Amino acid sequence: MKQRRNYEKPSERRIREEAEAVRRQRKALRKRMQIQGY
């Protein structure tokens, strides 16, 4: 994650955090699929 240089509005912060959570979930899912061999 890159450092945030300026203050972000609470609404923007919530949107960004949701997007990052989705990215982390997809990454974890990809790793699980590789381990299981799909």
The reported pLDDT for the residue numbered 2 is 62
Q: Which residues contact 16 (CB under 8 A, 6 or more apart)?
A: 8
* Global pTM value: 0.53
What are the helix (H) ranges across 1-38? 10-36
Give residue 20's pLDDT band: very low, low, confident or very high (50, 70, 90): very high
The mean pLDDT of the chain is: 85
The confidence band for 10, taking pLDDT boundaries of 50, 70 and 90, is: confident
Q: Is the pLDDT of residue 5 over 80?
A: no
- Tell me the pLDDT band of 26, cut-offs 50, 70 and 90: very high
